[in-house]
Amino acid sequence: MNPVQLLDTVSISYTATLPSGEMVESVPEEQPITLTIGQGCILKAVEASLMGMKPGQSKTVHILPEDAYGPHHESLVHEVSLTSFGDRIEPKPGMILARTIEIDGVQRQVPVTVLAVDKTNVTLDYNHPLAGKTISYTVKLHAIAR
């Protein structure tokens, strides 16, 4: 059988981990996903790593932040008044909340991570939780459908 090429439909399983060993995401071998190479269903760098593989092969690739969720931008870490939450919620470090912000003149809800809380302020991080992190993907190609 020919190896994976652009626009092939493939069946894969994978495990994504951080350098610490923490698992970020997993698609078990017993329940592989099917996707078409080039459609952007998974990170482009992971798709590219599948090129040339044959069914049954596995490989581990290390995806740098710029090819995953981008660098961590300190400019996206903001301190807001604790009173801005009112009585609706009691923010705690590690919580992921939805905040409404204006993007290109449109009000949108975006996820933010609570980094710290003190008596008067809350530190929020608007970066993607995986921004600035290298992610290792161990991918297994199960099948190619042409």
- Residue 146: band (very low, low, confident or very high) from pLDDT cuts 50, 70, 90: low
Q: What does the pLDDT look like over 20-31, one tens digit per residue? A: 999 999 999 999
pLDDT at 117: 96
Q: What does the pLDDT look like over 7-62, one tens digit per residue? A: 999 999 999 999 999 999 999 999 999 999 999 889 999 999 999 999 999 999 99
Q: Which long-range contacts (CB under 8 A, 24 or more apart) does 70-73 make?
A: 70/127, 70/128, 70/131, 70/132, 71/131, 71/132, 72/127, 72/131, 72/132, 73/127, 73/131
Q: What does the pLDDT look like over 68-121, one tens digit per residue? A: 999 999 999 999 999 988 888 899 999 999 888 888 899 999 899 999 999 999
Q: How far is CA 75 from CA 30, 142, 145, in A?
A: 42, 42, 45
Q: Are 104 and 42 in contact (CB under 8 A)?
A: no
Domains belonging to the chain, first-starting first, are 9-69+132-145 (3.10.50.40), 74-125 (2.40.10.330)
Q: How far apart are CA 64 and CA 68, in angstroms?
A: 6
Residue 4, helix vs strand vs coil? coil
pTM, two decimal places: 0.81
